[in-house]
Amino acid sequence: MAALIPQSPLQWCLFVIALSSTYIVSFLFYNLFLHPLRRFPGPKFSRASVLPKLYFLSRGKLIYHIEDLHKHYGPVVRIAPNELSFTDPQAWEDIFIRQPPGITKTSHSHALAPDMAFYNPFGDLPPSVISSDDEAHHHLRKKLVPGFSDRAMKEQEPLIGNYVDLLIRRLRENSTDATGRPQSVNMRDWIAYTTFDIIGNLTFGEDFGCLEGSGYHPWIALVLGSFKSRVKIQIFKALGILAPASWLMRSLGVGIKARRMHFELVLSKTKKRIAMGTDRTDFMDTLIKDGMSIDGLKRNATLLVNAGSETTATLLTGAVFLLVTHENVLKKLVAEVRGRFQRQEDMTLSSVASLTYMLAVLDEALRVYPPDAVSSPRLVPAGGHEIAGSFVPGGTRVGIWQWAMNRDERLFLEPSRFDPDRFYNKGDEKSRYAGDRLDAVNAFLLGQRSCIGRNLAYAEMRLILARLIWEFDMSIDQSSKNWIENQENFELWVKPDLNIHLKTVDRGQ
Ligand code: HEM
């Protein structure tokens, strides 16, 4: 027996190597041949280990990889040992509507809910609405609803209109240089300045001064610049090395300055908002009335700004790109907008809602370039659940990757073609897109945890796009002609500059 015990350091090394190899081989063998998901299709490496998924995630290419997997394996794919992805539209209903009791959101580190618990040198914060458990979510969501009601939106209308006016003024000023020669403007930034200022005001009672100062507020630059590191955090978590990585970064003082700036700014803005009292129809009003702690307010305010600004800005930037690269679509939209309104003053949140072709443009842009292109995974409860005709065992992570669903050839004719007629001619049996499964597109998700800001997002997108089309003839600068191709996606898109030429429409006034 004693002979079996390693006697020297070399023997100990060999012993540890043999033990770990046996563990790894048994783990891979179990995942491939004994795991409850063994009958679901998928590539061998993904069925055996989570490493391929993490590799593509770390390179910003995971959404394209999952699209390829569905092309090859069909509407249900095992994308990791314990995870299934679906591109059957029925899965929306089964995962998000017809939920079995006990189904839960699995990840709190989703891009829309930056996981501030990681490496927070200034103390942990309570969860926000998006990351709270179901019970807390129900209560929080109810408190947020009044800030998103029709009545609130009516009261928010003049405020939103003022920011759109300022955007148009700034674009006019910047579309020519000091000598009056035309120059391109970076629409990615101008649109983001507008949406951050609007949501900043509706959250904190004051904007970030982006449009006023023609630049990003440092806090927004930090928020936008940190999403790649948030994905790295997820990778560390999945590899089980989050704690040591976090400890190392904290010991080395990495990121302390940026984090301190973030926390101090949120704290001072939240305090200012509280001091304004509770008769504003904004997002925070009922939370303050309800006596929420300052930490809860800080956490939810940060979420609201992130979730409400970047998403809308992404969709609008994508829509502008798609329009200027699809001449016929742009022409039809110009005809609709300029034909409907003679005076700019007549363009309001409610009047632009009647632009039906524009609505189809936005819906098609949401399909082709979804701001939240990834999945919002759920964990199947013990006892399992039937999803899109397959029985899925309890404990499985399930999700719908919007990018893969929206680009599936089984669901859409020429899925990568941008053509708003898909939505505009909805219900017309003679349309070439009559066979399209439009119910597969759910950019705002479905069910109890779907986007609370959907109506506000549509209202903002409609007003901003209608005003842009009414005011300017837009064309693409050659430097941006491949803007959408192979963009990296780290749960949020890494959007390059979008350089656009703007010519003010001459109305002879
Ligand atoms: C085109 C624009 C937008 C898109 C595509 C979008 C998409 C989404 C999606 C997919 C979710 C679910 C995320 C998840 O649970 O994993 C979500 C949640 C959420 N969104 Fe939006 N969103 C948009 C605009 C807005 C706006 C303008 C606001 C206003 C502040 C907003 C506030 C929220 C909030 C608070 C949640 C969490 C809801 C909850 O957990 O109950 N979103 N959004």
Cβ atoms within 10 Å of 247's Cβ, excluding its own: 11
Residue nearest to ligand 1 atom 27, measured at CA: 308
Instruction: Please indicate whether residue 371, judged by its CB atom, sits closer than 6 Å to ligand 1.
Output: yes
| 404 and 426 Cβ atoms separated by less than 8 Å | no
Q: What is the DSSP annotation of 379-436?
A: EPPTT-EEETTEEE-TT-EEE--HHHHHT-TTTSSSTTS--THHHHTTT-TTSTTTT-
Instruction: Please indicate whether residue 108, judged by its CB atom, sits closer than 6 Å to ligand 1.
Output: no
How high is the pLDDT of residue 123?
A: 52
For the CA of 370, the nearest atom of ligand 1: 5
Cα(316)–Cα(322) distance, rounded to whole angstroms?
10
| 314 and 372 Cβ atoms separated by less than 8 Å | no
Instruction: Please indicate whether residue 199, judged by its CB atom, sits closer than 6 Å to ligand 1.
Output: yes
How high is the pLDDT of residue 241?
A: 66
Pocket probe mutation, ligand 1, options 128, 144, 285, 311, max atoms within 8 Å of Cβ? 311
Instruction: Please indicate whether residue 491, judged by its CB atom, sits closer than 6 Å to ligand 1.
Output: no
| 502 and 171 Cβ atoms separated by less than 8 Å | yes
Per-residue pLDDT for 117 more than 70? no
| 121 and 115 Cβ atoms separated by less than 8 Å | no
For the CA of 309, the nearest atom of ligand 1: 27
Residue nearest to ligand 1 atom 19, measured at CA: 451
Cα(320)–Cα(187) distance, rounded to whole angstroms?
8
How high is the pLDDT of residue 107?
A: 61
How high is the pLDDT of residue 108?
A: 36
Topology, domain 124-372+443-508:
Cytochrome p450 (1.10.630)
Instruction: Please indicate whether residue 457, judged by its CB atom, sits closer than 6 Å to ligand 1.
Output: yes
Q: What tens digit of pLDDT does each residue of 366-424 get? A: 999 999 999 999 999 999 999 999 999 999 999 999 999 999 999 999 999 999 999 99
Percent of the chain's residues with pLDDT above 70: 92
Domain ranges of the chain: 8-111+374-406, 124-372+443-508
pLDDT average, residue stretch 35-42 = 97
Per-residue pLDDT for 122 more than 80? no
pLDDT average, residue stretch 438-443 = 98
Contacts of 217 (CB under 8 A, 6+ apart): 196, 208, 209, 210
Q: What tens digit of pLDDT does each residue of 306-349 get? A: 899 999 999 999 999 999 999 999 999 999 999 999 999 999 99
Which residues sit opposite 3 in a β-bridge? Answer: none
Q: Is 451 within any annotated ligand binding site?
A: yes
CA of 176 relative to ligand 1 center, distance in Å:
36
